[in-house]
Structure 1
Amino acid sequence: MSGPVVDFHGHLAVPAADALLAGSAGLAAELAAEQRGHSAASMDVNRAQLVRLRHALTDVGARLAALDAMGVDVQVVSPMPMHHYWADRDLAVRLTDTVNAAVAEHCAAAPGRLHGLGTLPLQHPETAVESLSRAVTGLRLYGVSVATSVDGRELADPAHDPVWRAAEELGAVVFVHPWGCSLAGRLATRYLGNTVGQPVETTVALSQLIFTGVLDRFPRLKLVAAHGGGYLPTYIGRSDHAWRVRPDARGCAEPPSAYLRRMWFDALVHSPRVLRHLVAEVGADRVVLGTDHPFDMGVDDPLAQLDEAGFDAPQRAAIAGGNALALLTEGRVR
């Protein structure tokens, strides 16, 4: 008999955190940047979606009903991307504490079915280390969600090394989820900022982490990439070629493809053929289910999509839940 079905990619809205930002210049600038990356039509759809999904994003009962309908037993819940990396230290700490407490409270309402990931003030690395410790050892969260860049700074920037070191020591998951696109206006048309831009952001972030040697320095880092890792697994051969022929690309100890088997990837790639390719590149033991619940770019039939890919029984069981449960629990500080 197979084990529980685990969705690694669900979202929670935290109105109390939004209230902390009301009227701030930083939020106004952030919203202006978001508008530059989307057409007016896309912004209208996004706003209407947030209104329509407000209950699904905040109510435990609604979440559990949706999971039951999808055939999902357990969901890993992370905050709807709301990192606000522009915030000064004081505001950043208040935001982080508010978000992480809300995630913990939400998940505590359904113990055994909901597991939480928090957020971090990565723009203040020393403070982020303290916040990570509080989240994991105090609130009993399983790790954190991070964006693909930090107010213009790469995740691979050495300033973040203390955070990755702490995550290793705590056995904490780091879920890399894009929010926005640095290509901005070039992809504003027809929702390309999300459709194309977000996978690009993930591809760049993971490539930076690989090529600069971050994963050599922190080989036990439990890094999970949303949306199948963007385009990186699909075109990893070019990265390996550059590593072989270009001395200036040789910032990591092994060919880049070797590091795909040191990360985990959610299965949210919207195509059985692409999912089969992802598994061929990274291994069936490195893929977890992901729905992006409850947003329209997600799926509400994760098991049907998994079955359509045609994996054998052990592979299916691993992707459906076994990998996620092992990832959450192995090496975790209790």
Structure 2
Amino acid sequence: MYVDVHNHFLPEPYIDRLLKMDTAVGLTRSGDQLYAVHERSGTASVKAGNRIPLNDGFTDVQERLEWMEDHDIDRTVVSVSTPNPLAGAFTPEQSTDLVTAINDGFATVRDQYPDVFAGLGMLPLREPDIAVNEVDRIATDLNLSGIALPTSLPEGKLSDDSLTPVFEAIDEHDLTVFFHPHGNPLSDVLDSDESFLSPLVVFPTETTFQIARLIYDGFFDAYDFDTVLPHMGGTLLHLAGRIDRGRQEIDDPNAPPARSVLETLKGCYFDTISFHQPAMRAAIETVGVDQFVFGTDYAFDEEDTDTIVADLEAVVPDEADRQKIATETARDLFDL
């Protein structure tokens, strides 16, 4: 059996709000087909435009349950990736309303299917004071399993001083954080028929770039919460030595980060979404098998659960180690 910590679901209250909004980011419907509208995105199957069809797995619980049964998955830890409720296309007030809808929706579906669904709440980070209260609500009233954070905000980095109380609240409640990338200005460089490169290249590049920035800002020195990085951490594990070179050359011994980049990354967790066995072997050799959890990226087109499972079986021959990655580490991280 598997616990899938990286998959996406759009709860009904979130869908309802987005369909009523006339914004550059959101949802639209044509007949029975639901489309996500983006500023910067694309999927591997859509080569032009930012109006992307969403399959039933994003919204239909029964469709998801059948997929889980087919792939021996007994729990999905759901989060929202896109449409991104913190996008600059929304006002801060709209973002807060959308985030509330996501969190309430996840709590509802979890209550309906408590042995199947676990939800990762989002935070209205564009209104930090409200975000602190939402952390408390997620941990106490809604009892969600953790927090899903973007790798950056339209207004800047997560290490901004205004957000310190938010992350202190996450620490106080001992919640696990799952980072997820979104489009960035690199997507703007792509030609109209190259939008499929956004999830394939730009997203893992965004993770690598933004997490490296946070490391050098001392973000991971300041907080104790557990961190899960998707898409096997982008290229962070493969560039760890290179990223650390700058730290070795900093003249000020008190300048962040307090630890080496590799030591910081050894304290993070990574999902198994790679599709390249040599890369997975190198990643596990870099931080150890205990730092990996199973993920699929369902219900996006890039999802290929059979390959992810096959890669895991090929790269990790020890059954006890595979079981850690498949279920045990995730259960501990998200208190399942």
TM-score (norm 2): 0.87
Does residue 203 of structure 2 align to residue 198 of structure 1? yes
Summarize the Cα distance change of 1:85–1:272 in structure 2 as closer, same or farther, 3 Å threshold.
same
* Residue in structure 2 matching 1:244, options 204, 224, 248: 248
Letter paired with 2:323:
A
TM-score (norm 1): 0.87
Does residue 280 of structure 2 align to residue 278 of structure 1? no
* Residue in structure 1 matching 2:225, options 221, 231, 236: 221
CA distance in 2, matches of 1:115, 1:17: 17
Cα deviation, 1:207-248, whole Å, max 9, x if unaligned, reads: 122111111111x21111111111111111101212112337
Summarize the Cα distance change of 1:181–1:89 in structure 2 as closer, same or farther, 3 Å threshold.
closer
Could you tell me which residue of structure 1 aligns to residue 2 of structure 2?
Answer: 5
* Residue in structure 1 matching 2:326, options 304, 320, 326: 320
Determine helix, strand or coil for the equivalent of 1:150.
coil
Query: In proportion to residue count, which structure has more helix?
Result: 1
CA distance in 1, matches of 2:95, 2:315: 42
Letter paired with 1:312:
D
Summarize the Cα distance change of 1:204–1:7 in structure 2 as closer, same or farther, 3 Å threshold.
same
Summarize the Cα distance change of 1:85–1:128 in structure 2 as closer, same or farther, 3 Å threshold.
farther
Cα deviation, 1:120-144, whole Å, max 9, x if unaligned, reads: 1111112111112111211110112
Number of residues of Structure 1 aligned to a counterpart in Structure 2? 320
* Residue in structure 2 matching 1:84, options 75, 83, 86: 86
The structural deviation recorded for 1:16 is: 3.3
The structural deviation recorded for 1:252 is: 0.7
The structural deviation recorded for 1:47 is: 2.0
Question: Contact 2:244–2:261 (CA<8 Å) still a contact in 1?
Answer: yes
CA distance in 2, matches of 1:226, 1:202: 8
Summarize the Cα distance change of 1:74–1:14 in structure 2 as closer, same or farther, 3 Å threshold.
closer
- Structure 1: 5+ residue runs without aligned partners? none
Could you tell me which residue of structure 1 aligns to residue 73 of structure 2?
Answer: 72
Summarize the Cα distance change of 1:95–1:152 in structure 2 as closer, same or farther, 3 Å threshold.
same
The structural deviation recorded for 1:12 is: 0.6
Does residue 165 of structure 2 align to residue 162 of structure 1? yes
Question: Contact 2:12–2:105 (CA<8 Å) still a contact in 1?
Answer: no
Question: Contact 1:187–1:197 (CA<8 Å) still a contact in 2?
Answer: no
Bigger mean CA deviation after superposition, 164-173 or 85-94: 85-94
Does residue 119 of structure 2 align to residue 116 of structure 1? yes
Question: Contact 1:288–1:323 (CA<8 Å) still a contact in 2?
Answer: yes
CA distance in 2, matches of 1:299, 1:46: 22
CA distance in 1, matches of 2:49, 2:317: 39
Summarize the Cα distance change of 1:17–1:277 in structure 2 as closer, same or farther, 3 Å threshold.
same
CA distance in 2, matches of 1:128, 1:319: 31
Letter paired with 2:76:
Q
1:120-159 alignment, distance < 5 Å? 120-159=123-162
Letter paired with 1:299:
D
Bigger mean CA deviation after superposition, 61-70 or 7-16: 7-16
- Structure 2: 5+ residue runs without aligned partners? 27-35
CA distance in 2, matches of 1:280, 1:184: 32
Does residue 299 of structure 2 align to residue 294 of structure 1? yes
Question: Contact 2:180–2:207 (CA<8 Å) still a contact in 1?
Answer: yes
Summarize the Cα distance change of 1:121–1:152 in structure 2 as closer, same or farther, 3 Å threshold.
same
Question: Contact 1:9–1:77 (CA<8 Å) still a contact in 2?
Answer: yes
The structural deviation recorded for 1:315 is: 1.7
Question: Contact 2:96–2:127 (CA<8 Å) still a contact in 1?
Answer: no
Q: Tell me how large the CA RMSD over aligned residues is.
A: 2.6
Letter paired with 2:215:
I
Bigger mean CA deviation after superposition, 300-309 or 195-204: 300-309
Question: Contact 2:217–2:257 (CA<8 Å) still a contact in 1?
Answer: yes
Question: Contact 1:227–1:269 (CA<8 Å) still a contact in 2?
Answer: yes
The structural deviation recorded for 1:33 is: 2.9
Could you tell me which residue of structure 1 aligns to residue 32 of structure 2?
Answer: none
Summarize the Cα distance change of 1:179–1:45 in structure 2 as closer, same or farther, 3 Å threshold.
closer
Does residue 274 of structure 2 align to residue 269 of structure 1? yes
1:253-268 alignment, distance < 5 Å? 253-268=258-273
